[in-house]
Amino acid sequence: MVFKESQKRIVGILRKSDASRGLEYLHDGCKPPIIHRDVKTTNILLTENFQAKLADFGLSKSFQAEGNNTHMSTIVAGTIGYLDPEYYKSNRLTEKSDVYSFGVVLLEIVSCKPVRPLTETSAHIIKWVNTMVAQGDINGIIDRRLERNYEVNSVWKAVENSVELCIREPWKKTDNEPSGGGTEELQIHVSSSRTLSLD
């Protein structure tokens, strides 16, 4: 069976949950846990069966969880546009940084828009999507090449989950507040108490 390009993109969107399971494994399944630090579309590869695989672990760091102790990172690393603002501002690296980046990836896939502005008048994808969501314009967010060949409620849920992962200002959250709604549906678990020392 030959897929139309739009159908391939929908399959790709659905298969990105494979990448979320990969992040869950890095954060919760590995002992010690691993933070990828460079989750972006070019680091999520698709097999011939459209199974998503995380790639490029060159910036990843593993760490031993030490109760509720927090450590400061000496160097912020990652790709501009995908970089978690909390990590950038505080130098504190947690699993939330990967989750934020994954939210940006999902928005990029659904919209097929560049993450970073191409002109001075355009906005970062998060700000752009936030504006569109506030206006209730889900169809304006979705890549036009999909030719409305999608179930609006499913795509709306994907956008809603992505927005929850990255639009809120994470640095204003308390440690007891969950990191973005809907992460359990993306099969990403975030532990807010662990941070990584890059000393």
Catalytic residues: 38
Rg (CA), the chain: 17
| CA dist., res. 63 & res. 118, Å (int) | 36
Is the peptide bond prior to 117 cis by the omega test (within 30 degrees of 0)? Answer: no
Under 8 Å between Cβ of 93 and 37:
yes
Ramachandran class of 180: left when φ > 0, alpha when ψ lies in -120 to 50, beta otherwise: left
| CA dist., res. 159 & res. 186, Å (int) | 12
Burial of 142 (0-12, 13-18, 19+ CB in 10 A): buried
Dihedral sign computed on CA atoms, order 140, 143, 146, 147? positive
| CA dist., res. 159 & res. 129, Å (int) | 9
